[in-house]
Chains A and B, each alone.
Chain A
Amino acid sequence: MKKNDILSGKKPLNILEKIKENLERLNDKMEVMIELQRHDKKEIQSFPDASLDVMTLLSMPDHLRKTAMTICRYGRATAQEIANQTSRARAVESAYLNQLVIMGYLKKERVGRKAYFFADRDNQE
């Protein structure tokens, strides 16, 4: 590390950003683990070819249907945006969204520090 970088604080800031990003990822994973423990594990099965159609929505447990319905309406959204609509906590929505990703119904994409969730309709030809 160059002396000037340390003095200007650029490098340490970058490192802190990276640490924060990694902590957020860890947090996402922990939320999923907590959810897996809270609900019956059998409920969270992965279907590699899953599609988020209305009959699937109907068969979902109530707590996941609410999240899935909201993402259907938005197309693409962060956990915070979904939480604003469902009036549930961001961490709760993040856990449900990650569950839906594990189940194969949603895709997740990170843009900088934000994680976006979406139903990948176009690639389901």
Chain B
Amino acid sequence: MKSIIAVHSYKGGTGKTSISVNLAASLAKRGRKVAILDLDFRAPSLFSILKMEDSTLWINDYLNGASTINKILQETNGKGLNKGKLFAGLANPSTEAIRDMSAKDRKWEMRALGRLLSLRNTLLKEQNFDFIVFDTSPGLQYSSINAIVSADLVIVVTTSDRSDVNGTSRMLRELYNLFEKKTGVVINKILDANLDSKKEELNKRAKEVYQVSLLGLVPCFCEVLKSQGNLIFVEDKPNHPFTKIMDEIATRIEKNEI
């Protein structure tokens, strides 16, 4: 089933971008045509992770009405994607662009929402994309909420940090519930993930505190930290347990089992 997925979190540093990129790559690996868009205009990072630092056209230009989405999307050179394709739309990392995006008014944000909503038609229907993944800014701000409203499924990435657990549960209750969005939670960077008691505790948290479907439990892998953002595990380490978890999440999304 074709769909738009927004990956969001309450706090920064939860592993949102890493999960967005790997999930997009896992969907592409199954022969799907996927686009990943960096909507974190305050701290753009997709250009760096995908090593696409020579870009001249950005998602900022699309949202400003200065370019079409087709001119902005660039195909990545992902390894092991078989017949699948992964395209990326990057956010402009220049200080000037970050400043410009943080000074937009409500009317600009309203037009930006219209442009994000129209991607369903341009990319999913006309260009035959199967999935669009939005990597968003953390917390409650315009660009993220625009992405959430435009998406079919929202994946919330969270950790076991006390302030993250509290903030995430409040955000789910006071923001997601209002928009009636299909939501799944991924708990990332779990210590002692192999202990059954730990798994039980986290399952209980998803059910009772977050009250949304649990999409995945991701242990804190030293290899992921050691790679310092240089590897896309789904492409570079196809047999790594992290890749396996991403593949499981991708399967559930594909089968619409959320």
Contact = CB atoms under 8 A, between A and B. Distances in A.
B146 A54 contact: yes
B179 A121 contact: no
A62 B179 CA distance: 9
B34 interface: no
Chain A binding surface SS class: helix
Contacts of A65: 178-179
Interface in B11-50: none
Interface string B113-149: 1100110000000000000000000000010011001
A51 interface: yes
Contact of A53 (B106, B118, B175, B179): B106
Chain B binding surface SS class: helix
B110 A58 contact: no
A74 B197 CA distance: 46
Contacts of B110: 51-53, 119, 121, 124
A51 B107 contact: yes
Given A72-B117, A72-B149, A54 B109 contact: yes
Interface in A41-84: 51-58, 62, 65-66, 69, 72-73, 75
Contact of B145 (A58, A66, A73): A58
Interface of A: 51-58, 62, 65-66, 69, 72-73, 75, 119, 121-122, 124-125
